[in-house]
Amino acid sequence: MKARGRISIHVAREKPTPRPEIYDLYWQYAVRRHQAFERRLAGTLQPWSDDPILRTYKFCNVFRALDRVSQYLIRSVVYADDAGTLEDRVFQIVAFRTFSNIATWDGIREVLGRPPTISDLASGTFRYALDEVKRHNGRLYTGAFILCATKAYGHDAKHYNHVDLFKHMFLASGFAQRVLDAYSFEGLVRGLEGFPLVGPFMAYQTAIDLNYSEFLEFSENDFTQAGPGAARGLKKAFLSWGEYSPADVIRWMVDRQSEEFSRLGLSFSGLFGRPLHATDCQGLFCELDKYCREAAPHLTSNRSRIKARFYPASALPPLFLPPKWNLDSVQPPAASSSVFRSKQYELSW
């Protein structure tokens, strides 16, 4: 008598329904913004875009790894030539992303004469270095990410709570080894989410940073998580998400990019041939939300204006992207991995 097998019935989910003009604008914006970056990188004189909105307001790059803070992180933290052990490097990446402030990291390095290590957490040297930087600079954090503001470890000073968070992670919980042993990108994100003061989106962003390193090999398409800005952009680009979650819609965009660029007659070669990944498509929705505040103000949300205006800085430094991406057009880092400011700090014990 033959055993009966289960009959598997695949029911197709209802697909997202685009808002046509904004959905198309998503792809058009990606091309315009990346063209502006490519023109600037090539040394072309301003203006780098014919788009009046892009010329007036500040927008992140299409590819997350190209933004100024990400470039610093990749070059001077993830691949710093004096980072120490792999465990120390994990701590450094997590700590840098928490502050997301180049001046803070330069200051810490100047106080210590090197990157901070896990041993500096145990000895109190890391906390001392933060105090010194705060005393000289007046601030430690940027507004790039919304951080949990609770006094999870009982301190009034936010950075003291984060110091104790790092002690919890790296001294008490052995989190560095857990990162090195991570079995999936999602598992890495969930591991970060398990700690106080690390919300879901901050966990996702930190996992992306860790994954730039040579000790992790996850695809950025393995897992994604929509931040608040991306959620606003998704609502503007679609009339309905159908039966898709925000993360599903982002992956849907990754899969459709070649088809959509072709449909719209747009030329998009990516990042030296590297296509958009879920990390980038997620960020693009956040930038689309900002762009629509000027281009489609009738699509209201809890944000009605673009705060940051565009003021071009000096010429772009040579790019440095993760070597494991095998992008031939990227230049290697300079001999000195970090650029320090001239402020002098004294380490006195």
Fill in the amino acid letter for 249. Answer: V
Q: Do the Cβ atoms of 219 and 278 come closer than 8 Å? A: no
pLDDT at 164: 97
Q: Do the Cβ atoms of 106 and 136 come closer than 8 Å? A: no
- Domain range annotation of the chain: 18-36+51-65+224-325, 80-211
Encoded tokens for 114: 């090197």
Encoded tokens for 57: 């307001």
pTM of the model: 0.89
Q: Do the Cβ atoms of 233 and 288 come closer than 8 Å? A: yes
Centre a 10 Å sphere on the Cβ of residue 100 and count the other Cβ atoms it contains: 22
Could you tell me if residue 100 is left (phi over 0), alpha (psi between -120 and 50 degrees) or otherwise beta? left
Q: What are phi and psi of 334, to 5 degrees?
A: -70, 170
Residue spans of the chain under pLDDT 50:
1-5, 8, 331-349
pLDDT at 7: 53
pLDDT at 303: 73
Cα dist from 216 to 18, 177, 184, 232, 290, whole Å: 35, 12, 9, 31, 32
pLDDT at 332: 42
pLDDT at 298: 93
pLDDT at 330: 55
List beta partners, residue 273: none
Q: For 238-294, write each residue's pLDDT tens digit.
A: 999 999 999 999 999 999 999 999 999 999 999 999 999 999 999 999 999 999 999
pLDDT at 9: 55
pLDDT at 333: 41
